[in-house]
Amino acid sequence: MPRTAIWRSLPRSLLLSATLASLLLGGCAGPDKPTPAALAANPSSLSVRLVWSNAKALGEEPLDIKADGADVLVMTKAGRIVAWNAATGVENWRVDLGAAITSGLGGDATRMAVVTQGNTLVLLEQGKELWRANVQALVLTAPLVAGGRVFVLGGDRMISAFDAATGQRLWQQQRTGEPLILAQAGLLMAVGDTLVVGLGGRVLGLNPQNGSTRWDVALANVRGTNEVERLADIVAGTTRRGSVVCMRAFQSAVGCVDGNNGRLLWTRTANGYSGLAGDASTVFGTEADGRLRAWQRATGEVLWSSENFRFRGLGTPVVWDRSMVFGDSAGFVHVLDTRDGKLLNRLVTDGSAVALGPVLMGKNLVLVTQRGGLYAYASD
């Protein structure tokens, strides 16, 4: 089961110095770990084929994967970014930043941004470095490149904006909150002309020109007898249709917010720590213990639930045509029918956990295993 780390946010004068604690979620702690659910026979009722694979694509621990036009970009914790053609598996370019990377990879149609372990924001274009700028604290969330600017969400709850052409800092805003911060990527995205940010269990809409708050809504009602139980940061991995964004608050809730005006459409109690997927009518998620849930996008009504994959260490799902796909900690990739959660096919990788993805690349799915293998699949 994945470990989830938590950072203690100290006063701003100390920046983000932290004491790291590891927690095992969903009853996976202690000597009596729950037994993963046995897998049913593979019906193979949906034809899926391996398009290409590279079992030794990475020699380092993978950190993030991103679709970039016709390329799939994979980043390692050690500081390497490699671009492969998603259709053929041919490597197009790679770059070594010379420092470990803490954040995910964010970008627009031409430029990509990351933050290194030394709290340095780096902007790239086709693998070539454009500029570097310092940020004040540890950054885990992928920077957002949009509207000629680069936005950064720091672990000290500081939101900063930089000029994408020069690297000049344009503004910064900081919000206070619970003393503990989840050491996991959070929410930072654009909806129209609004910058949407997750801070604790709240979702904020900011003016990207100056950082002023346009709206502020609580997705999760933070409760608990201690700091850990009250932890409810919005986690990365959202599903969006128009201006409506559906998201998860760590171990607390899932819900949907209108990014234009901050109207909370619905929220439901849910105990999970990974992001959501969705199609036009449904939102899908995996809970901390491996339960699967499907909620109606418009109302939050539970449409179906499955316990067939409990305690199998499930990742964030992706919707692939009319199927829902997710990897597990044993390296299996499960393909389910979005209508009822029934198994359609099961794919085998290299036996190590599915570390990144799957991500949708055109009609192909691409994923990375913990051993650094890269796999691309297509449906017939």
Per-residue pLDDT of the chain (380 residues; tens, 9 = 90+): 344 554 444 333 222 222 223 333 344 444 578 899 999 999 999 999 999 999 988 888 999 999 988 999 999 999 999 999 999 999 999 999 999 999 999 999 889 999 999 999 999 998 899 999 999 899 999 999 999 999 999 988 899 999 999 999 999 998 876 667 788 899 999 999 999 999 988 999 999 999 999 999 999 887 766 777 778 899 999 999 999 999 999 999 999 999 999 999 999 999 999 999 999 999 999 999 999 999 999 999 999 999 999 999 999 999 998 999 999 999 999 999 999 999 999 999 999 999 999 999 988 999 999 999 999 999 97
How far apart CA 309 and CA 77 sit, in angstroms, is: 29
Residues 6+ apart with CB under 8 A from 338: 279, 282, 284, 294, 319, 322, 323, 324
| Dist CA 74 CA 370 (whole Å) | 12
Angle at the Cα of 267 from the Cα atoms of 360 and 204, rounded to 5 degrees? 75
**CA dist 239 → 140, 220, 247, 302 (Å):** 20, 17, 7, 16
**pTM of the entire predicted model:** 0.89
Contact between 155 and 16 under an 8 Å Cβ cutoff? The reply is: yes
